[in-house]
Structure 1
Amino acid sequence: RRHFVRERYGDAVATLERLVARGRAVRARVSGSDEPWFVHADVLPLVEEAAGAGWAERTTLLSPFDNLLCDRERTSLLWGFDYVNEMYTPRARRRFGYYVLPVLHGDRLVGRVAARADRRRGVLELEGVYAEAWVEDEAAAPGLALALVELAGFAGVGSLACTGPVPGVWRSALADLG
């Protein structure tokens, strides 16, 4: 409800209902939510493709500023993932780190990575890798390893080093990165 227009309109639901009447949006139902939800008509084919055989599971790292995270209440409701950007939290009070990237595996937020590029040394330091408490298998590990290698390339560094905690469930896949 707030994400679609980011509080641009005083009565977002009425505005979205007008878009439904014009065929520009469709109503959607989200399991576990009594709120009204809408999907823009232009992206409906992508939603249908994602729900069908055209969807391929992959693992990626999200920016702390990704739209999926911008409404913390919605992120918690839809994905059961509580995210706090700790950049402005004093170091002693941080749980995960200064710049923490959520890990999206398929359609689930499965963990987070605190990464820092040390360009002088040419190393992407993994200051901490954290799996959500419910993650019990290694399914995300190969994709996470690939995403970290891609992040290192994007950051312009040639190697990775795990300098902080790594969950046992992902340890073997990430051990080969250094």
Structure 2
Amino acid sequence: MPVSELLRLGNARPIVRWGDPVLHTSARPVTDFGPDLQSLLADMFATNTAADGAGLAAQQVGIDLAVFIYDCSDETGTRRTGVVCNPVVELAEGNDRHLIDFGEGCLSLPGAYTDLARPEFCICRGQDQYGNQIELNAGGTLGRCFQHETDHINGIVFGDRLSKRKRKQLYRDHETVSEQYSNDWPTR
């Protein structure tokens, strides 16, 4: 189904929180690109929109499947939307690797943000919603999104990349606003 259809058909689902085992385990590869996947993708777009997110991995709605959606701007400020199944991210190395410290958050720990250094650009390879091979180059929010969501697919939350001190502060920040996010957030 085209992304334009996926963007208008789904229903928001509750977002799973850090600590749930599905977020800390590698996901199963996508092998079936049929109607069940298309329905999941539409719901993921609706959930991401309801939560005002940049991207969302299937694990964040409790499904252990290696797929994420994205809806955010790239390094030029252009809005890009799409799907990546079975993602693999390639990062620059050596002199070509430039880290950018930038505020990052996670819909699975809503309301908490902290700076995290990530490479400025990445290449993300995988498959689209039809199973076709894709390769996407991105920087800006989109490049960060590709890295963040692929981490989810691999059972990593961005807090795993923080120092113990920064991670504790992130949890404290979440606690101060947690009453704004019910267990069924962002469904209403």
Q: Could you say which structure has the higher strand fraction? A: 2
TM-score normalised by the chain length of structure 2:
0.23
Q: Could you say which structure has the higher helix fraction? A: 2
TM-score normalised by the chain length of structure 1:
0.24
